[in-house]
């Protein structure tokens, strides 16, 4: 046992406590080590001792840690612990540090050697970065809901190499974000209510298959991000709750322990809990080569029960800072992303400079304002013009990702296309416009699977995406436009190089509420890109806007092109910009602008 790592665990700074605890192969056999300070005794039962409670007892090696070595075990040997509590009650528990568990509804642990897999992604790992000055266009995926074999049979991690990776690559996404793959008991929680903080869910295969999938992503130039849950854990009796008969992981204060999801909040005042969670995150970066972690429900870490009126949760805030600081020290090119709905300041500022230390934060304010606007009857949009132009008033306060995530297509909220105002055709036209807006707005992008095919059915973890929709022109052409937008976005630094500086964006006209038209410029590299968004069902043969440079502008995207099932009112020839200027710009030009059109024009910067 690494005594230095153990001390770090007790001090609340460990990112690799999984090397101390759990089940590990050694020359002498498999060493089982468990933290259970208040247990009267700990017994190991498994298929190797016929689940006999009296055959394999662990010995206390100090006042808090129990250990036993079992010889002759092979990989995937099954085991669990029997904890004798102080009142003499025996309770069967899953190993908190198990690397693998059986398929739900079972929860028996399995011995696995995570160092067996030989990685082939050295070049990727050497060259990866936090992507601040690189394109990052994320495809969020629930593995079980992407594709099915039928009859409820999921594709395995290994099969996803041939199913998911080619699709993501063809569509032009740079990263895949996986909804949680920690082990969890209830399918309907989508992995956000966990018990196996070090365990890969067995729903889609084993640990090595997941490693193969991530390795293959890296070989194909695709980064992998995974959602993790640091705030709370499930109440199931075999898990962390009252683990050794006491509140070892959860708060002993009933008013602070229960969450809105009928789970328990972690007790962040305990160093051992802090090390447990930091090490869980570290495992995915270390053993699985994840390129980023998206931390769920950060608002419930910042404030008690996620409610700002209850005050800041100082213990959890201290944990966040420690978590981000030490993981960045250990894995400087791995991203840590906050799913945070609060206005708490400096979320993406470094810990050393007084921030929380995240690399990115989801811009949920932008998401809510934007969808509220697009749901609205266009006649009334003139009175709510600020819902669109407000985002740039605060955008540079954090490093934002623009998300249309799974949260927006569940619980009867309606899918993205279904949220749009109007008739069937108008919904598609405005959704195309919305995506042009999203891809030209500063900030990295995230779309949940199904958004790219304009799915009308909400996400259901028991069903695959409605791929049959691609038989219909409106959906197939929408997918084509999304692929084209992805490629336009990734191909020019104007759309990502200066996302988080004042140099990359400038409004042309942010205040045209009467016509409900927005226009702005993206800078970077040798080209400038002018975006014009018509939010009304009105067309213009000659719509005049100011532009920053003279010469000819080429339309590279129009959401109303016929190949996207639009009306085809486009700018088919180059548009000339001349003096005098307009909107505070030196030059001006006139363009054709279709109803609900999203238009991007490019010119060489002179």
Q: Which residue has the tokens 């407000």?
A: 390
Within 10 A of 150 (CB to CB), how many other CB atoms are there?
Answer: 7
Strand partners, 228: 295
CA torsion angle 576 565 420 382 (round to 10): 30
Active-site residue, selected from the candidate residues 183, 244, 296, 369: 296
Q: 107, 56, 104, 57: which is closest to 78 by C-alpha?
A: 107
Within 10 A of 587 (CB to CB), how many other CB atoms are there?
Answer: 20
How far apart CA 515 and CA 3 sit, in angstroms, is 69
How far apart CA 114 and CA 253 sit, in angstroms, is 37
Question: What value does the CA radius of gyration of the chain take, rounded to a whole number of Å?
Answer: 26
- Respond yes or no: is residue 236 known to be catalytic: no
Active-site residue, selected from the candidate residues 215, 250, 291, 339: 339
Cα dist from 414 to 371, 401, 419, 459, whole Å: 11, 22, 6, 9
Residues 548/583, Cβ–Cβ less than 8 Å:
no
Q: Kindly state the helix (H) or strand (E) to which residue 422 belongs, with its residue range.
A: none
The tokens for 172 are 């032009």
Residues 256/265, Cβ–Cβ less than 8 Å:
yes
Q: Which residue has the tokens 């693998």?
A: 100
- Respond yes or no: is residue 296 known to be catalytic: yes
DSSP code for 333: T
The tokens for 388 are 């669109």
Q: 289, 353, 287: which is closest to 321 by C-alpha?
A: 353
The tokens for 57 are 């007892």
End-to-end CA distance of the chain: 65
How far apart CA 422 and CA 412 sit, in angstroms, is 18
Strand partners, 361: 338, 400
The tokens for 87 are 């009142």
SS3 398: coil
Residues 238/92, Cβ–Cβ less than 8 Å:
yes
Residues 244/37, Cβ–Cβ less than 8 Å:
yes
Q: Which residue has the tokens 């992981």?
A: 249
The tokens for 411 are 């619980």
How far apart CA 589 and CA 553 sit, in angstroms, is 9
Which are the catalytic amino acids?
296, 339
């Amino acid at each position: 046992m690494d005594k230095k790592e153990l001390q770090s665990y007790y001090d609340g700074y460990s990112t690799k406590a999984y090397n101390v605890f759990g089940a590990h192969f050694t020359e002498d056999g498999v060493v089982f080590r468990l933290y259970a300070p208040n247990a009267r005794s700990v017994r190991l039962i498994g298929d190797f001792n016929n689940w006999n409670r009296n055959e394999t007892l662990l010995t206390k090696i100090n006042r808090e840690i129990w250990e036993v070595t079992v010889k002759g075990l092979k990989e995937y040997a099954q085991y669990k612990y029997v904890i004798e509590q102080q009142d003499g009650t025996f309770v069967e528990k899953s190993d908190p540090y198990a690397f693998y568990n059986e398929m739900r509804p079972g929860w028996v642990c399995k011995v696995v050697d995570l160092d067996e897999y030989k990685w082939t992604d050295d070049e990727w790992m050497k060259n990866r970065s936090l992507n601040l000055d690189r394109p990052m266009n994320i495809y969020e995926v629930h593995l079980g809901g992407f594709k099915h074999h039928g009859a409820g049979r999921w594709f395995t991690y290994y099969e996803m190499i041939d199913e998911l990776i080619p699709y993501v690559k063809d569509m032009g996404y740079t990263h895949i974000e996986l909804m949680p793959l920690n082990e969890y008991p209830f399918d309907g929680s989508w992995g956000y209510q966990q018990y196996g903080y070090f365990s890969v869910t067995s729903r889609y295969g084993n640990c090595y298959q997941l490693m193969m999938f991530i390795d293959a992503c890296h070989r194909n130039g695709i980064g992998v991000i995974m959602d993790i849950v640091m705030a709370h854990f499930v109440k199931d009796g075999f898990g962390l709750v009252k683990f050794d008969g006491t509140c070892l992981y959860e708060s002993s204060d009933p008013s602070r322990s229960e969450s809105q999801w009928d789970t328990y909040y972690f007790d962040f005042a305990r160093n051992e809990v802090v090390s447990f969670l930091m090490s869980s995150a570290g495992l995915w970066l270390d053993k699985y080569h994840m390129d980023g972690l998206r931390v769920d429900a950060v608002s419930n870490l910042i404030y008690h029960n996620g409610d700002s009126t209850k005050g800041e949760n100082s213990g959890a805030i201290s944990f966040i800072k420690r978590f981000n600081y030490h993981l960045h020290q250990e894995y400087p090119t791995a991203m840590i992303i906050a799913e945070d709905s609060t206005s708490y300041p400096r979320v993406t500022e470094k810990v050393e400079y007084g921030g929380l230390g995240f690399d990115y934060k989801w811009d949920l304010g932008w998401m809510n304002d934007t969808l509220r606007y697009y749901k609205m009857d266009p006649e009334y949009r003139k009175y709510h013009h600020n819902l669109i132009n407000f985002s740039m008033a605060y955008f540079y306060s954090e490093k934002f990702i623009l998300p249309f995530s799974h949260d927006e297509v569940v619980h009867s909220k309606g899918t993205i296309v279904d949220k749009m105002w109007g008739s069937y055709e108008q919904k598609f036209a405005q959704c195309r416009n919305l995506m042009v807006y999203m891809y030209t707005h500063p900030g990295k992008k995230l779309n949940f699977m199904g958004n790219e095919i304009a799915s009308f059915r909400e996400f259901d973890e028991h069903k695959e995406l409605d791929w049959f929709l691609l038989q219909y022109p409106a959906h197939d052409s929408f997918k084509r436009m999304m692929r084209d937008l992805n490629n336009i976005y990734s191909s020019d630094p104007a759309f990502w190089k200066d996302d988080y500086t004042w140099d990359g964006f400038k409004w042309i006209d942010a205040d045209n509420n009467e016509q409900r038209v927005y226009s702005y410029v993206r800078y970077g590299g040798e080209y400038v890109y002018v975006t014009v968004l018509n939010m009304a069902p009105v067309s213009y043969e000659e719509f005049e806007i100011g532009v920053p440079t003279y010469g000819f502008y080429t339309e590279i995207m129009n959401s109303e092109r016929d190949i996207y099932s639009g009306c085809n009112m486009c700018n088919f020839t180059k548009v000339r910009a001349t003096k005098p200027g307009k909107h505070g710009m030196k030059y001006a030009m006139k363009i054709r602008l279709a109803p609900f059109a999203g238009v991007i024009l490019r010119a060489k910067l002179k």
